[in-house]
């Protein structure tokens, strides 16, 4: 699956880290890094993390892999 975090919005509350620590990690106390294309098996965790973000900075692909048509 695909995600992106708006790190301008992110304030380092780290709620995502508690809920999906294989996908979201803190580097130090505030700097968030993450896996932009985590394994589909982690979908539930990632959705929980996105819902929990106090500033709603985590955005998840809404096409679910279908219909992207990125190649001509």
- As measured in angstroms, the least distance from the Cβ of 25 to another protein is 7
* Count of beta carbons in the 10 Å neighbourhood of residue 47: 16
Say if residues 1 and 40 touch (Cβ distance below 8 Å).
Answer: yes
Nearer to another protein, 41 or 70 (CB): 70
Answer yes or no whether residue 41 interacts with another protein by CB under 8 A: no
Rounded to whole angstroms, the Cα distance separating 25 from 3 reads 14
Query: DSSP code of 67?
Result: S
Binding interface with another protein (CB under 8 A): 2-4, 6-8, 10-15, 17-19, 21, 25-37, 44, 47-48, 51-52, 54-56, 59-63, 67-72
């Amino acid at each position: 699956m695909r995600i992106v975090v708006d790190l301008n919005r992110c304030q380092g509350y780290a709620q995502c880290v508690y809920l999906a620590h294989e996908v979201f990690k803190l580097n130090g106390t505030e700097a968030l890094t993450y896996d932009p294309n985590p394994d589909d098996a982690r979908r539930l965790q990632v959705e929980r993390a996105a819902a929990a973000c106090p500033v709603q900075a985590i955005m998840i692909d809404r096409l679910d892999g279908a219909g992207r048509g990125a190649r001509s």
